[in-house]
Structure 1
Amino acid sequence: MAFRLRKPLALAVAVTAATILSGCVGTGAAPAASEGGGAHTLTIWHAYAGQPDKVAFIDWALKGFQKEHPDVKLNVVSAEQSSYKTKLQTAMSTGQAPDVFYTLPGGFLKAFVDSGQVLDLNDELKKKNWGDGFIPSAMESVTFKNETYAVPIDMDAAVVWYNKKLFASKGWGVPHTWDEFLSLSAKIAADGEVPVALGNKDSWPATFWYQYGVMREQGSGVVTGMANGDANASFGPKASDAAGMLQTLAQKKYLPTGANGMSDQEANLLFMNGKAAMVLNGTWQIGMSADASKDFDLGYFPFPKVQGGSGDQSDAIAGVAAAFAVSKKAADKQDAVDFLRYMTSPAVMKKYVELRKTMVTLKGATTADVAGPVLAGIVKDVVEPAKHLDPFYDTTMSPKAATVYYSTLQGLIEGSTDPASAAKAIDEAVRAGK
């Protein structure tokens, strides 16, 4: 996922942001420092368009880098997450890779690594102990066969978010088990509200429901194990039960009407406007909810326990959401690496936490003073108590497997596939590893 849109913006704005010309920094006007004739041109692609908190961060970061490197002329291209992935894959397949590019970790990045298009950063990470500053588990998602090909930027954990003021006004209690969750959803629906905001037009929002279902029913580490060639890793019989959990929400009409055709932005508006009571999303939800009305009070709870499930019920979905890598074809690799160093410096990482209210991969940067009480609470209540942190399935899978994964979950929601068939299709796609 990770990859996650916020308030609806006009498409024209997103298109404009995606076509920033040479010398322009971020999604706004170019600062004066970038207008001069730099000795080098560095082409940077990123997927921070479409959300105000993301745009605020990348504009700030790019202007800071430009100020520190006035001899480098920036050619910045941005897009929102879904269109960005397609754009980058097309560029890679035609040999037109940008110098520096935003990437998902795991299988998405590995496809480019396997085709020989990404610079190995091992030697650079050893200089001045740069690599030692990262959380070790975060580095695993961008490291293949002991070689690291990107620097991880942020980490997200997925929890169930709810409107505390709405719950209090209705007398609804926070559920602790899946049965309690379904009972609560029935009450919410009977009261004329949408129990769960889900806009699955871009496919990734539904993934958390299936993954948590597998984790609670069967256990964590399934997709990671399969991706790493573990012959014993498999979606077992209980994966069908996990798929059934998502389909139950759709069949009981606990999701918005037409969830597969609704964007994540539209679903989030339902949630923030009190028209939907809950949403399962990553910690980026904090930033997405920053502009909600005074009648909205963001709360969270861990994904409910599944009674009888064989997985550890404390486990949480948490993993690297995004990273930056350097193309092997970069004209000036030192400028490109300098940009990665800058983006992962303490000052920039703390600013990221402050503006986006999400965890970062640099040790000691996600502090309470910049993270705020909600994020700090999730670290304390969800991340730290978890026996296992399972990385996002779709970023761990190969791109082809992820495509099957997305379409299969859409089929579950619309009712065109059954839970057993869905679990089998996902298992086969991940096992194929292509």
Structure 2
Amino acid sequence: MKLNRIFGGIILFTLTFVSVVFTGCSGKEKKHSVELTFFSNLPDRNFGQGLVEQLIIDEFMEENPDIIIKLETLDETAYKTKFHVYCHERLPDIVSVWGQRAFLEEAVLAGKLEPLDSADFKNFGFKEGTLDGFTYEGELYGLPRNTDVALFYYNERMFRDFGWKVPQSFDELFDVAEEIQNHDFVPVGMDGSDGWPLMIFFSDILYDISGKDYRYIVDHAIETHNFSDERILKALNLFCKACSGNLFQKNFTQDDYGAAQNFFLSGKSAMYYMGSWETSMAVNTTYWNEITPYIRVIKFPSINKDSPGKSGVLAWYGGGYAVSADSLHKKEAVKFLKFMFAPERLSRLGLKNAVGISAQNESDFLYETDVPCLTELVRIAESADDYSGSPLNDRGNLDFKYLCEANILRLASGQITPEEFIKLLEREGAY
């Protein structure tokens, strides 16, 4: 028995030695996996944009087994807070970004984002102007995921059953709001506590009043610290009318994103004001089935029939992705972006899962969706003769964004007047 053990040991040693020698002689070593860290603002991986993002990540890793993607997700508010922390430390390899000065500038000036070669994405079907917000001083720092459009979502069955008219003008919006209240429902669910949805709503009003002049009005005001254009004051007064006229739920300035959405999805409100990224509500089976099949959308009801912005729409290219300048695997990170933004992937999956419309040409895939609210969104976007660009709060730097969002809450709750709001932007705006 002892002899057998010795003989067996000799054989094992010999085989091991031969194996090592042949491996060394062949010059082949086992390829180590590259780990890419991915920081995303889409925590829900079962529906909507988070699902689309996850499907692409899974497909990429399947086709590239030598690359592992380690994911970290937070909701948008928490994400932006931690992103600022990362800007003072080490940024993950791939990050969610927004193509707006208020967000992008800080990261670029801190040297945290890697410039991309625009030639690499020349034939990816990006719509005209979509890359502008992700470009800083001539360098491309990110790629836009979607086209964001401000919308009123409404419960089509509720409107039909009660005989309410879908509003086509601002006056009709208030008229139907009164009818809705008379039936003990909330007219419009509004996320007031976060500030930025209120700024989008105000920008919607201002764009309708000013049309294609909107961009000049707001950019000139920010640059000169002069918000005296009469259209700004007019828009603020109409905004206050909406906030004080029982258009939204009681105490809406205290309700966050989830609470406002819940008013709509639980049937407590007939409408809900939010961006086009929420069209996936219509296919989310975790919501109430008696509501979701009847979700429809309209754009902002014009102030009057001659409104300059009537034929346009408040739309911008918001969320997207960038590569970290801190990354040790920039080549692999860019490879992932090329994979993700291949026209047949992000745009197609987005339509298929009803997550709004992308920033790329998606005409080849429109037949793949039969979700009514998404079809209506596509019609709204395609029929518009102008896109506004970013809401007012996102057109300045980060300090300006905070200033706008903090004080629009005070304005909405009646703590300050429109004139005082303007003075605050002019006097305190460090932008």
Q: Would you call these one fold, judging by a TM-score over 0.5?
A: yes
Deviations 1:347-375 (A, max 9, x none): 32111222243111222367322343432
Q: 1:216–1:309: 8 Å Cα contact kept in structure 2?
A: no
Within the alignment, does 1:392 sit opposite 2:390 as a pair?
yes
Q: How far apart in 1 are the matches of 2:325 and 2:244? A: 49
Q: How far apart in 2 are the matches of 1:206 and 1:268? A: 14
- Residue in 1 that maps onto 2:302: 305
Task: Give, in angstroms, the shift of residue 389 of structure 1.
Answer: 0.5
SS at match of 2:65: coil
TM-score (ref. length: structure 2): 0.83
Please give the residue correspondences for 1:129-278 in structure 2 after superposition, counting only pairs within 5 Å: 130=122, 133-220=125-212, 222=214, 227=219, 236-278=229-271
Task: Give, in angstroms, the shift of residue 145 of structure 1.
Answer: 2.5
Q: How far apart in 1 are the matches of 2:238 and 2:279? A: 26
Letter matched to residue 303 of structure 1: F
- Residue in 2 that maps onto 1:3: none
- Residue in 2 that maps onto 1:361: 359
Within the alignment, does 1:45 sit opposite 2:43 as a pair?
no
Task: Give, in angstroms, the shift of residue 404 of structure 1.
Answer: 1.2
Q: Which runs of 5+ in 2 are unaligned?
A: 1-29
Deviations 1:28-81 (A, max 9, x none): xxxxxxxx9943221111111147323322221211121122112322211111
Task: Give, in angstroms, the shift of residue 153 of structure 1.
Answer: 1.0
Q: 1:105–1:141: 8 Å Cα contact kept in structure 2?
A: yes
Identity %: 20
Task: Give, in angstroms, the shift of residue 227 of structure 1.
Answer: 4.9
Task: Give, in angstroms, the shift of residue 331 of structure 1.
Answer: 0.4
Q: Pick closer, same or farther for the CA change 1:69–1:428 going to 2, 3 Å.
A: farther
SS at match of 1:218: helix
Please give the residue correspondences for 1:314-325 in structure 2 after superposition, counting only pairs within 5 Å: 314-325=311-322
Name whichever of 178-187 and 225-234 sits farther off: 225-234
Q: Pick closer, same or farther for the CA change 1:352–1:312 going to 2, 3 Å.
A: closer
Task: Give, in angstroms, the shift of residue 326 of structure 1.
Answer: 1.0
Deviations 1:172-214 (A, max 9, x none): 1122221121122122122211111112232222122200111
Aligned pairs, number: 392
SS at match of 1:103: strand
Within the alignment, does 1:288 sit opposite 2:281 as a pair?
yes
Q: How far apart in 2 are the matches of 1:59 and 1:288? A: 18
Q: CA RMSD in A?
A: 2.6
SS at match of 2:360: coil
- Residue in 2 that maps onto 1:416: 415
Letter matched to residue 390 of structure 1: S
Q: How far apart in 2 are the matches of 1:86 and 1:355? A: 29
Q: 2:217–2:229: 8 Å Cα contact kept in structure 1?
A: no
Q: 2:296–2:376: 8 Å Cα contact kept in structure 1?
A: no
Letter matched to residue 37 of structure 2: T
Q: 1:142–1:149: 8 Å Cα contact kept in structure 2?
A: yes
- Matching residue within 334, 337, 340 for 2:334: 337
Task: Give, in angstroms, the shift of residue 116 of structure 1.
Answer: 2.3
Letter matched to residue 76 of structure 1: L
Q: How far apart in 1 are the matches of 2:213 and 2:319? A: 20
Q: Pick closer, same or farther for the CA change 1:114–1:192 going to 2, 3 Å.
A: same
Task: Give, in angstroms, the shift of residue 132 of structure 1.
Answer: 5.0
